[in-house]
Structures are given as C-alpha cells and as structure tokens.
Amino acid sequence: MPHAHDLPSFKVGLTETKAPSNPLGIKGCGEAGAIASPAAVINAITDAIGTEDLAMPATAQAVWSAAHAYATASCRVIQGDSDVQFHFPSSDNGSSGGGTAGA
C-alpha cells in the first residue's frame, strides 16, 4: 500500500481572479443546488390546489386564480329545500370534499 512519502512532492498554489460582472468581484458558488428549488415549490403548490395549470412565477394572484378556476370547473352545486351543497371531487388520499352552506 503506497504511503504519503511514496508520492512525488508537489506544490499547491492559489490563483484569485475577481469577477468583472460586479463591483466586489464576487463569484457565485453553489447555484447547482438551487436549480431544483423552483420546480419543487411549483409541484408543492399544484399538489395543494389540485391543478397543474399554474405558471411561474407563482404569485399570490396567480395561485388564487388557478385554484379558483379549478374549483369553479370541478364543482357541482346541488340545491335542496333550505341548503346549498357544494361537492368537490375527492382527492387521491380517499377523503371526500364537500361542504354545506345554510340558508
């Protein structure tokens, strides 16, 4: 098994090059770890509101509009004698949505 003394000697150097794109000369580091974040956030939002009809950026108005459009398109209203019932499609986990608004 080779040891450290079996290797040839070498000298480690450091070269600093400032980035010309900003006044401080700072370079970015670690952007590759942030690439998946926007996709993960959009997936979480679309899973929560039940529709994939949402484009980035996910502003509050865009999320509200997408959720409202989905709810309006997939809701059926049943009018009874004194109550109005809203029936929404059930989610993947088996729970049924629905609610009653009294008169």
The answer to whether residue 4 is domain-embedded is no
The answer to whether residue 39 is domain-embedded is yes
**pLDDT tier at 95, thresholds 50, 70, 90:** very low
- Strand-pair category, 99-102 with 76-79: unpaired
- Residue range(s) defining the domain that contains residue 48: 35-103
CA distance 74 to 92: 15
Neighbouring-strand partners of residue 78: 85
Q: What pTM was computed for the model?
A: 0.42
The answer to whether residue 1 is domain-embedded is no
The answer to whether residue 21 is domain-embedded is no
The number of folded domains in the chain is 1
**What is the DSSP code (8-state) at residue 7?**
S
Quick one: pLDDT at residue 25?
84
Average pLDDT, the chain: 75
The answer to whether residue 48 is domain-embedded is yes
Higher pLDDT, 92 or 3: 3
